[in-house]
Structure 1
Amino acid sequence: MTRTAREAPHHRTLTCYTNYGCRLPECVERKRAWARDRDRSLRAGTWQPLVDAAPVREHLQRLMEAGLTQQAIADTAGVAHQSISDFTHHRGKRRGLRHRTDPEFAAKILAVTVDTVTAGRVDATGSHRRIQALVAAGWPLLHIGRQFGIDEQRPEQILRVQRIFAATRSQVYTGYEWLQHQRPERHGVPKHKARQARERAASNRWPTPRYWTDRMDVIDDPDFEPLYGVTKREIVAQDAHWLIVQGRLDRASAAARLGVSKAYIDHAFRDHPQYAVDVAA
């Protein structure tokens, strides 16, 4: 029976080599470098063996009982999300909970407190727009996560929150600067997946990287409203709605204020009924 190889969630630690059988040249070299460091430390008598993982697991449990998510803990500690879940969830029939861990990793987790997690968050508007622009360019969210070097589910999660860690924002900004100039089909994205990503962006009116090229001074501004994919008729319908409801004008007066005919407003309301207002002419 053929066994399907699992894909590593990331390629930044030894996990992909040891747990997923990854043999990318850079990952093999990372493994060899780790072995060389271990051998040097053993000869020097400074090697630190693995320590009991129970204190780390108990600390994680307390943090999660306080309402913190594993992703928030991982972001604060500067470690991969998978490395957190290894302490809290069984990894299949052959691999149970982690019972030993690296001292340095343990120190990172034990240093995390509720206060350190909730501090240091920033507005996510710019990150939302960069991720959405990449989707508009044909990058599926899962592929964006892989290219950013973060958990593949993370971009979807970022789009659902209003504030993120500064370190996460930095990862998105750095990844976007490179990825916006790349064609997804040349980096392992199937054509039909790229097409689906573009269709998703179009249905949500997510601007493309080209749109933001001349607007980088406002891409992070939450008060700036991109009018990407919005027609003149829809803008007139929005403005007419506001003038009629808030300004208490009739349609003829609203039309004169907007420099269009009353018939144009009627057509705008017909095409965009969500803005239509039933008032006298």
Structure 2
Amino acid sequence: MTTADRQPPHHNNLTCYTDYKCRLPECVERYNAWGRERGRAITNGTWQPLLDAEPVRQHLLNLHAAGITIHRVARLTGMQYRSVRNFTQHDYGNAAPRRRRVTREVAEKLLAITVEEHTPGHVSPVGTLRRFRALAAIGWPTLHTARRAGLHPSNRNSMFRYETIRATTAQRVAEAYDEMRHQEPARHGVSATSIKRAKLQAERGRWAPPAYWDETGAIDDPDFEPMYGLTRREIIAQDAHWIMTTLNVGRAAAAERLGVSKAYIDHAFRDHPQYAVEAAA
């Protein structure tokens, strides 16, 4: 199997040269100019090495919690969406790890986006719903979460029927979540029966706990599809279904793409018939 050369998404920075091997004259000159500038800065003792990206990551997560999405940050800064997203989550499509280092220029650009200046009036309810469910997974009934967030208990389910909720509501839930996730429900008046019931509800619904969302960094991303609680066989069944229906290929071709045997896909479809595609060899 041969691997085709990847094409750069744009030619606005050094990545087209360093990551995509672009050799357009203007891109080569941009890279050489950067090298000359770096050399002079090192000689003069003014060269600024890359910075730790963790403060940027935390800032972006705080913006997310307040309703300022990665998409909006990208638009406000003029950066590529994927470049911003890579600070908070692993880029599985390109097998790139989460960003650990950042230039001072990029850090300053992202840190300049403030909650006070850019918070919208309404936001997607996805992150708020996931926070309710994540707390349930560690034993917090949704009733207690609503009360801690200063919400009327009767609103804890009805508000998710709408496409958006108030940004202030999302922020209150995010603040309660940050506190409650580190506390034991039993020490705050929650009965053993209620804790057990909340955990059972979360288990049945495959609701991911806070640790899972820490790992993905995508609790507020409505485009992120959580895989928590799925077995490898179910994931293969889902992926095979997508490949076969989207590309109109058979099981053998899907198996080759997924790096498994055709028999494995047969077993995956047998165990998860809701994804089975009957067309194919």
TM-score in terms of structure 1 length: 0.55
For residue 140 of structure 1, what is the aligned residue in structure 2? 141
Displacement of 1:162 in angstroms is 2.8
For residue 161 of structure 1, what is the aligned residue in structure 2? 162
Displacement of 1:236 in angstroms is 0.7
Higher mean C-alpha deviation, range 246-255 or range 152-161: 152-161
Displacement of 1:161 in angstroms is 3.0
SS of corresponding position for 1:159? helix
Matches within 5 A, 1:30-41: none
Residue 190 (structure 2) pairs with residue 189 (structure 1) = yes
For residue 239 of structure 1, what is the aligned residue in structure 2? 239
Corresponding letter in the other structure for 1:190? S
The 1:161/1:182 distance shift into structure 2, 3 A limit, reads: farther
Q: Distance in 2 between matches of 1:189 and 1:163?
A: 30
For residue 172 of structure 2, what is the aligned residue in structure 1? 171
SS of corresponding position for 2:161? coil
8 A Cα contact 2:249 2:280, kept in partner? no
Matches within 5 A, 1:1-281: 120-216=121-217, 218-281=218-281
SS of corresponding position for 2:216? coil
Displacement of 1:153 in angstroms is 2.3
Indicate the RMSD between aligned Cα atoms, in angstroms: 1.5
8 A Cα contact 1:124 1:163, kept in partner? yes
**Largest Rg, 1 or 2:** 1
Unaligned runs of 5+ in 1: 1-118
The share of aligned pairs that are identical, in percent, is 51
Q: Distance in 2 between matches of 1:204 and 1:249?
A: 32
Q: Distance in 2 between matches of 1:272 and 1:135?
A: 27
Q: Distance in 1 between matches of 2:163 and 2:201?
A: 21
Q: Distance in 2 between matches of 1:160 and 1:208?
A: 22
Corresponding letter in the other structure for 2:228? Y
8 A Cα contact 2:255 2:265, kept in partner? yes
Q: Distance in 2 between matches of 1:147 and 1:132?
A: 15
Moved over 6 A (4+): none
